[in-house]
Structure 1
Amino acid sequence: MTKVSRIVRLACAATAIALATAVPASAGHDEVQDDPAVVAERLHRMGFVEWRKLSWDRHGFWKIDDARRQNGHVYDLTLEAGSFDLVRLNRERG
Structure 2
Amino acid sequence: MHRTLIAFAATALIASPALADRGPSQDEAAKIAASLTAAGFKSWNKIEFSGSVWKVDDARSIEGKTYDLQLSPSDFGIIRKDGD
Identify the TM-score tier after normalising by the shorter chain.
0.5 to 0.7
CA distance in 2, matches of 1:60, 1:41: 20
Aligned position for 1:54: 47
Any unmatched runs of 5+ in structure 1?
A: 1-30
Aligned position for 2:6: none
SS at match of 2:36: helix
Aligned residues: 59
Of the three residues 66, 79, 82, the one matched with 2:58 is 66
Measured after TM superposition, the shift of residue 82 of structure 1 is 1.2
Instruction: Say what the alpha-carbon RMSD is for the aligned residues.
Output: 1.7
Q: Is residue 44–residue 56 contact of structure 2 (8 Å, CA) maintained in 1?
A: yes
CA distance in 2, matches of 1:85, 1:45: 10
CA distance in 2, matches of 1:86, 1:76: 10
SS at match of 2:76: coil
SS at match of 2:30: helix
Say which one has the larger Rg: 1
Percent identity reads 36
CA distance in 2, matches of 1:60, 1:90: 17
Measured after TM superposition, the shift of residue 56 of structure 1 is 1.4
Of the three residues 27, 31, 40, the one matched with 1:38 is 31
Point out 4+ residue stretches in structure 1 off by more than 6 angstroms.
Answer: none
| Higher RCO, Cα 8 Å, sep 6+ | 2
